[in-house]
A and B are shown apart, each in its own frame.
Chain A
Amino acid sequence: MLWQGREVFLDSPARAASIGIAMVHQESLLAPHLSVAENLFLGREEGGRFGYVSRRRMLERAARLIEEHRFPLQADWRVGKLSPAGKQLVEICRAILHGSSLLIFDEPTSALSSAETEEVFRIVRTLRARNVGVIYITHRLEELRAIGDQVTILRDGCTVHSGPLRELDTGRIIQHMVGREVSAIYHRESFPAGEELLRVEGLGREPELRGIRFVLRAGEIAGLAGLVGAGRTELCRALFGVDPIDSGRVLIGGREVAIRSPKQAVAAGLALVTEDRQRTGLAVGLPVAYNLTMANLRAVSRAGVLDHAAERRVTAEYISRLRIRAASDRQPVGRLSGGNQQKVAIAKWLFRNARVFLFDEPTRGIDIGAKIEVFELMHELARCGAAVLMVSSEISELLQVADRILVMRQGRLRTELPRQTTPEEILRYAALEDHT
């Protein structure tokens, strides 16, 4: 790696910062209880000896910098009270202050409104005018046009194209992103869709979800595509009662249900296989058996007293049916491989006899063999008359598994595509402002 003509070896963010490379993180790495000025100078406080910090001098310098770049900030504001956009601006400000000559932005706008996005763009343009180099990572293609000169497209960790942006039209960019060969690892037949199981009408939760409307039928697997921040996980959480909805109706099996907590969602026959197994899916310190029966403990107990024999039977049944590789049903789930953990998380809902399954990124962090097993499980669920909604960031996966694909963008359901659609088509809806 060459930097300003000389070979450099960067083994820490501090080393990179020392030669003038700074990164604006997607998730803010600021101290929320400190002021804007204090955050700007964090780690290199102005002041004298003995750790004395000259607050006044710091505030003055920060205020001057903010003024100079016309940032909509005040030096003495508390960072914790800023919007995500404000925090990003503080990070940018910090990079400028430290004299960085290359700024890396990682999906900076995924959590910003369009006005805030404009503000970030304006600052990026000012930086460019001041001869600061900018690497801007984004999934949103129109953002490239708005601020990019050169474009580099990566796929599966390899550079597939690099060159001036104006030489590429959007169609070509999408082609590069998708790649020609969509590796088919799995193929399934659709079932004829049965009765309506889940109907969502005008569901909204400000500001992340607006006017969501769709139907899931028994025996079908619907894919849910979209970019980071499009609201897919938020939709799952809202349906499952984790975050209450502001507007709209949810009908399960034709009956309207008011779901205000996961408890009510489970009672209504919903299941959510969460994106983050460790945090929300499993109690990793507890045995496989405990996790498996957690959502349906009543089925293996009578009058509040557990029937250990029944629990062991049930656990053994699911361990063999789902081919869960565990030393015993007493082994803590945390010691299983990612794929086997995921199978336990799914088995929990199978045992609960849920009818509508929401899978949020079910193949994250599991190996290809386990992936196919998860797909087969979903297929099996559909065959038995359940309805499945599958969120995935891997479009090829959706195309292999789903009967149809819902595409979200910025909190709205943009369109619904048949399973014969192409990755390009999906990306067009997911990544482009206006589809023409």
Chain B
Amino acid sequence: MIQRLLPFLSLIVLFTALAVASPHFLTTTNLSSVVRQTAVINIMGLGMTIIIISNGIDLSVGSILAMAGLLGTMAMERGLPIWAGIAVGLLTGLFWGFVNGILITRLNIAPFIVTLGTLGIIRGLALIISNGLPVHKIPAAFSFLGEGNLLGVPFVLWLLILCALLMHFILEHTRLGRYAFAIGSNREAAIYAGIPVAFHTTAVYAIGGMLTGLAGMIEASRLMTGQPTAGQGYELQAIAAVVIGGGSLHGGEGSVSGTLIGAFIMGLLSNGSDLLGVSPYLQQAIIGAVIILAVAVDELRKRRLA
């Protein structure tokens, strides 16, 4: 039981340690900025959670994020209202997630390969569409999405809470979520039980894509640009968040709370390093070590149970 709570306890310990070590840590400004910085990875991580639970992987989320941010801001540039621009971003994410799902289930190719391919395709298309240039002419009010406050806390925190609750509901209270666990735990057995495996696998990627689309709009709002080069390497951070939080790359395991904890641990590590003046080079190494440590501890727990 203690080991199951270990990621959460680590987060608390890390939080407390940083509060003691740096006087700048426990300030509204700093905590707000941690939330804003991690919101993007957090929301992508939520989508990655259901994908990984179904024994899949999506390496193309970084590219999807860029494409969504780009098309969303381009729509606003062309005069569409802000809400419509955001909708364009979400639909872009949904579309590419759907494409990934269709390719994986129809061509029967491993998700790793398919999304490695679409990672390149989507990024390339984003660069072609934008001619490699960022979109700048965005209505000023759009910055509210990523930078605004509602009831004294960052608006993205409300969004994150909403997405987390939704994903938790999907995973624990819907057939889709249950099927994701079944497919991830034993795809063969799921097929033999008559579960429409292809349909639900596709749905899982589509949902992951849509959340990535939202993350793309938040990223665009924070930077106030639509960058075709945004989100490079984000896929690995999203996967890391799921894995630190107890998700298994063998499928059938993972949770919303775990992923949130994983993303916040990484966010706090990088924020704390900044505050304490640790070199950004070392930061990367520390986060890498934490990923291995988290998975090692989790493996140990499972082996003890087996």
| A residues with CB within 8 A of B | 240, 242, 261-263, 265-267, 272, 274, 279-286, 290, 294-295, 297-298, 301, 304-306, 308, 348
Contacts and interface: CB of A to CB of B under 8 A. Distances in A.
Contact of B182 (A266, A290, A301, A305): A290
A264 B151 CA distance: 53
16 contacts: A261-B191, A262-B191, A263-B191, A265-B194, A266-B194, A274-B192, A280-B188, A282-B189, A283-B181, A290-B181, A294-B193, A294-B195, A295-B194, A301-B174, A304-B176, A306-B173
B30 to A, nearest CB: 40
Nearest to A263: B194
Given A274-B192, A297-B179, 15 more contacts: A263-B194, A266-B193, A272-B192, A280-B189, A282-B186, A283-B181, A283-B182, A285-B185, A285-B186, A294-B182, A304-B174, A304-B175, A305-B175, A306-B175, A306-B178
B252 interface: yes
Query: Which of A284, A286, A294 gathers the greatest number of chain B CB atoms within 10 Å?
Result: A294
A419 B175 CA distance: 44
Contacts of A266: 193-194
B196 interface: yes
A242 B252 CA distance: 23
B190 interface: yes
Contacts of A261: 191
B252 A286 contact: yes
Contacts of A240: 192
B253 interface: yes
Contacts of A267: 194
Contact of B175 (A279, A282, A295, A297): A297
B178 A290 contact: yes
Given A266-B194, A294-B195, A308-B173, A284 B186 contact: yes
Contacts of A297: 175, 178-179
A283 B189 contact: yes
Interface string B88-113: 00000000000000000000000000
B194 A262 contact: yes
B250 to A, nearest CB: 8
A274 B252 CA distance: 21
Nearest to A264: B194
A304 B203 CA distance: 13
B53 to A, nearest CB: 11
Interface string B190-214: 1111111000000000000000000
B193 A298 contact: no
A394 to B, nearest CB: 24
Contacts, number: 76
B173 A305 contact: yes
Nearest to A278: B186
Nearest to A237: B192
A305 B196 CA distance: 17
Contacts of B176: 304
Contact of A283 (B174, B194, B252): B252
B109 to A, nearest CB: 20
Contacts of A272: 192
Contacts of A274: 192
Given A290-B181, A306-B178, A262 B173 contact: no
Query: Which of A240, A297, A348 gathers the greatest number of chain B CB atoms within 10 Å?
Result: A297
Contacts of B253: 285
Contacts of A285: 185-186, 252-253
B45 to A, nearest CB: 22
Interface in B278-301: none
A306 B253 CA distance: 19
Query: Which of A240, A267, A279, A306 gathers the greatest number of chain B CB atoms within 10 Å?
Result: A306
Contacts of B175: 297-298, 301, 304-306
Contacts of B173: 305-306, 308
Closest CB pairs A-B (n = 9): A266-B194, A283-B185, A283-B186, A295-B193, A294-B193, A263-B194, A285-B185, A285-B252, A280-B188
Given A301-B175, A304-B175, A306-B173, A286 B185 contact: yes
Contacts of A306: 172-175, 178
A263 B173 CA distance: 23
Query: Which of B181, B189, B195, B253 gathers the greatest number of chain A CB atoms within 10 Å?
Result: B189
A301 B174 CA distance: 8
Contacts of B185: 283-286
A263 B182 CA distance: 15
A335 to B, nearest CB: 8
A94 B181 CA distance: 45
A286 B183 CA distance: 11
Given A286-B181, A306-B178, A294 B190 contact: yes
B237 to A, nearest CB: 26
B174 A262 contact: no
A298 B194 CA distance: 12
A310 B247 CA distance: 28
Contacts of B194: 262-263, 265-267, 295
Nearest to B305: A335
Given A283-B252, A304-B174, A242 B192 contact: yes
Contacts of B193: 262, 266, 294-295, 348
Contacts of A279: 186, 188-189
Contacts of A308: 173
B203 to A, nearest CB: 11
A12 B188 CA distance: 34
A284 B188 CA distance: 12
Nearest to A273: B192
